[in-house]
C-alpha cells in the first residue's frame, strides 16, 4: 500500500516540468558526451519516487504499475495482473 501511494505521488509530481540539461552521444567519439541544450523534463523527485515505489514492492510492482491491456494477464492477489 505504501508503494502504491509513493507511485501515485510520483505520478502527480511527474506533471511538474523543470528545465534540465541534456547531453547527446556521438558514436564516433565513444568516450564523450556532448551538451545538447536544455529540455523540459519531469522533476527529479518524481523519477526518484517512481524508483522508490519499485524498490518497496519488487515482487508485485509490475502487476499494478504497468498497463496490462494487450496481454490479458492473470489476476493477482495484489489487485493487479500478472503477464507471466
What pTM, to 2 d.p., does this model score? 0.67
Question: Do 61 and 3 meet the contact criterion of CB atoms below 8 Å apart?
Answer: yes
78 has pLDDT over 80: no
Mean pLDDT of the chain: 84
Q: What is the pLDDT of residue 21?
A: 92
Residue boundaries of the structural domains of the chain: 2-59
Q: Give the mean model confidence (pLDDT) for residues 53-82.
A: 77
pLDDT, tens digit, 9 for 90 and up, residues 9-49: 988 988 999 999 999 887 787 778 888 999 999 989 999 99
In which element (H, E) is residue 39 found?
A: strand 33-42
Amino acid at each position: 500500500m505504501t508503494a502504491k501511494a509513493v507511485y501515485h505521488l510520483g505520478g502527480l509530481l511527474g506533471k511538474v516540468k523543470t528545465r534540465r540539461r541534456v547531453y547527446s552521444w556521438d558514436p564516433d567519439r565513444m568516450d564523450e558526451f556532448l551538451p545538447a541544450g536544455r529540455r523540459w523534463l519531469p522533476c527529479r523527485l518524481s523519477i526518484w519516487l517512481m524508483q522508490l515505489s519499485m524498490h518497496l514492492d519488487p515482487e508485485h510492482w509490475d502487476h499494478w504499475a504497468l498497463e496490462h491491456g494487450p496481454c490479458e494477464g492473470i489476476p493477482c492477489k495484489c489487485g493487479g495482473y500478472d503477464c507471466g
